[in-house]
Amino acid sequence: GYAVQSYCEANGYSVVRELVGHGVGRDMHEEPQVPNYGRRGQGTKLAEGMVIAIEPMINLGKRHVYQDADGWTIRTRDRMPSAHFEHTVAIGKHGADILSSFEFVEKNLEKKSLKGENTSEQFDNQLN
């Protein structure tokens, strides 16, 4: 958590505390909880064989959020923009391997762009 928090805050962003990453195994959400904030050396010790989801919610403004009445939507209290990222990481003997990737999306967007397709217009049309 310290690594995420210190990097984000050094670049002028805040990190939401109410939402955390988690272990991944037979169930999608398992222990341990993986906070995106904390003090150096005080988080969960990562060990070979662990699979975790690192998923910070990073805000342009303050770190405080609330949940809408729908029980799902999370909003920043100060109404500033926010982004939520996620990567699933396997801890191996010689380091970590990122299991999630946006490579598939990037390749397909690139293919459409090379074909002259207006991908942003297509996306806008899907939203309307």
Contact 101, 86 (CB under 8 A): no
Q: What is the pLDDT of residue 15?
A: 97
Distance CA 15, CA 52 (A): 18
Residue-by-residue pLDDT tens, the chain, 128 positions: 999 999 999 999 999 999 999 999 999 899 999 999 999 989 888 999 999 999 999 999 999 999 999 999 999 999 999 999 899 999 999 999 989 887 777 777 777 666 655 555 554 454 44
Buried b (16+ CB within 10 A) or exposed e, 67-92: eeeeeeeeebeeeeebeeeebbbeee
Question: What does the DSSP 8-state code read for residue 66?
Answer: E
Q: Which residues have a Cβ under 8 Å from the Cβ of 113 and sit 6 or more positions away? A: 119
Q: Which two tokens stand for residue 123?
A: 């996306």
Domain locations in the chain as residue ranges: 2-100
Overall fold of domain 2-100: Creatine Amidinohydrolase (3.90.230)
